[in-house]
Amino acid sequence: MLSYILRRVLYAVPIIIGVNVITALLFFYVNTPENMARKILGEKNVTPSAIENWKQDHGYNLPPFLNVKEKGLSVVTQTIFFQKAVPLLWFDFGRSDRNNIDIGSEIKTRMWPSLAISLPMFTAGVFIDLFFAMLLAYYRGTRFDISAVVFCVMMMSVSTLFYIIGGQYFLGKLLKLFPISGFDTGVHSAKFLILPVVVGVISGAGVGIRFYRTVFLEEVSKDYVRTARAKGLSEGKVLFKHALKNAMIPVLTNVVVSIPFLFYGSLIMETFFSIPGLGNFTIDAIQSQDFAIVRSMVYLGSILYIIGLILTDISYTLVDPRVIFE
């Protein structure tokens, strides 16, 4: 087991390096430091010396990948790639291009508000989706099931933006149940979090319920379920005791992979509800064209995704005794 985990982690290393190279290519090669300086200093009336100065100050005055002027190991180390992208491997994010803030410490403080909104949203979402999916699987083929599936498809066809805007308008502005947006720390944050959580759960329900229902139905049509029924077990027992356990395996893939990503929050939710999390941070960076932050966030997101995949594989071995990796 331990050797399997180790191997799985080692397997992720080339992928992490690959992600690093791709982002570096995009940000240092396709988009030259020249361009960045121009965008940050303002498009017009920039003197070449101002650009040089900016590059000097922010460490962009090196060649992107290979420095032919240097000798020995410095050919590789005295480059933008080595100075800027390689430290990401040990989570040294450096400083932002525009305000010169420390990106690493910003990430550390901002991930908690992100988690505060995405964790309840995610857990409530999964449980509610699973509950309704089981209900539909229990009543499969009936008029209730069919109309509910139709309703799910309709819910899937509405953009998240409408759920957010609608939620803010009806629940926040008209009924005045919750504040429309904002954030606070500790216990006081609760009143700000309810609305985004409700909106998030509703907007994901269509896809979620339909997906889990399919998973349950696939399980219900298997042989062991027929055997359980033939044994004379009640439909409820068959469904909730036998089928549910086995259906958990595909459900796990869907759930575990997103857990690390919860730290990241959601770009859209956080901007609409003014939550000072990582999603909001990213959007701000996009709008002010701060490439150092965007690059760090792309990298961070990839790492979280890869961690999610590893966790998924490990959780398989825990829930399904048949899965044995040598």
Chain residues in the site for another protein (CB under 8 A)? 14-15, 18-19, 22-23, 26-27, 30-31, 153-154, 156-162, 165, 169, 173, 214, 217, 221, 261, 264, 267-268, 282-283, 286-287, 289, 291, 294-295, 297-298, 301-302, 305-306, 309
Smallest distance from another protein to CB 237, Å: 23
Smallest distance from another protein to CB 84, Å: 15
Smallest distance from another protein to CB 20, Å: 10
Per DSSP, 95 falls in state B
- Pick from 261, 277, 263, 299: nearest CA to 25: 299
What is the Cβ-side half-sphere exposure of residue 252, based on CA atoms within 13 angstroms? 18
Q: Which is nearer to another protein, 15 or 46 (CB)?
A: 15
Q: Which is nearer to another protein, 27 or 183 (CB)?
A: 27
Distance CA 280, CA 271 (A): 5
Smallest distance from another protein to CB 101, Å: 19
Q: Which is nearer to another protein, 67 or 246 (CB)?
A: 246
Distance CA 322, CA 326 (A): 12
Per 3-state DSSP, the chain is made up of helix, strand and coil in percentages (nearest 5) of 75, 0, 25
Distance CA 94, CA 91 (A): 9
Q: Which is nearer to another protein, 19 or 255 (CB)?
A: 19
Q: Which is nearer to another protein, 1 or 154 (CB)?
A: 154
Smallest distance from another protein to CB 19, Å: 6
Distance CA 195, CA 269 (A): 10
Distance CA 68, CA 85 (A): 19
